[in-house]
Amino acid sequence: MSLPFAEWFLRLILALQSHPADEPRLTPPPPDVPPKEISERIKLAAESLAAKKLDAEALLVDPKQMDLHEWTAFREQIKKHAPVGKLAIVTPDEPGTRLALRGIVRDEAGKRVEGALVYAYQTSAKGWYSDKAPHVSGESGDVKHARLFGYVRTGADGAFELRTIRPAGYPRSDLPEHIHMHIDAKERGSMGTEVLFDDDPRLTPEKRMKALRSRDVVVRAEKNPDGSLRAEGAFTLKAR
């Protein structure tokens, strides 16, 4: 069966895109034990969070702390101190189009869920999870070590807002651009999903149907007067 013209044309464009021969594809994950200097900085961050001198967002958007993002111990501190309601995960100088993604989390009965923990991670504006390569190798490398990530809890209205940039799709791939979301509300349910974009040319009708069958969320990105984007999605947890 021949491909629909739109999908055939997209694949042709992707195939013609040039990639430097030496462009990396994978970077190894960081070692389990950080070097002394990194450990000391993570300890200082943990103490500042505990004393409420800083919050998780302040650490995530600080360009001087970006090299800590891949380390498990740092990520655990961000998770432990996840804010309620809103969270920014990109520095002021992060390349890409700004995006405010609002989500409403409900249980299977349709009731809004307060206190659900949302873990989000994504690629950069060039489709990379790491600053060294598109993907992190090893078991769940991207999940555990993505550079752009954050934890936020839903408020009393079941809502959260992620302030980030619109991600790009992977290099050498025709997979649609997406933001990963893992949502856990304990006994109320949980879900692992992807947020995709309605106007993404990679999101062909076939991929859209597959995504919806997988309980992924397709959002419409609306442009603000300043050129940034806003979008909203609904997330329904699956009972345990």
- pTM of the predicted structure, to 2 decimals: 0.91
E-strand stretches of 42-89:
86-88
Per the rule left: phi > 0, alpha: psi between -120 and 50, beta: everything else, 70 is: alpha
Which letter, b or e, does each residue of 105-138 get, where b requires 16 or more Cβ atoms within 10 Å of its Cβ? bbbeeeeebbebbbbbbbbbbebbbbeebbbbee
pLDDT digits (tens, 9 = 90+) for 169-206: 999 999 999 999 999 999 999 999 999 999 999 999 99
Residue 129 and residue 147: Cα distance in Å, rounded? 6
pLDDT digits (tens, 9 = 90+) for 56-86: 999 999 999 999 999 999 999 999 999 999 9
Cβ atoms within 10 Å of 81's Cβ, excluding its own: 19
Please give the CATH superfamily to which domain 83-240 belongs: Aromatic compound dioxygenase (2.60.130.10)
pLDDT score recorded for residue 23:
80
Would you kindly state where each structural domain of the chain is located, as residue ranges? 34-81, 83-240
Residue 215 DSSP SS3: coil
Residue spans of the chain under pLDDT 50: 1-3, 8, 12-13, 15-16, 18
pLDDT score recorded for residue 234:
98
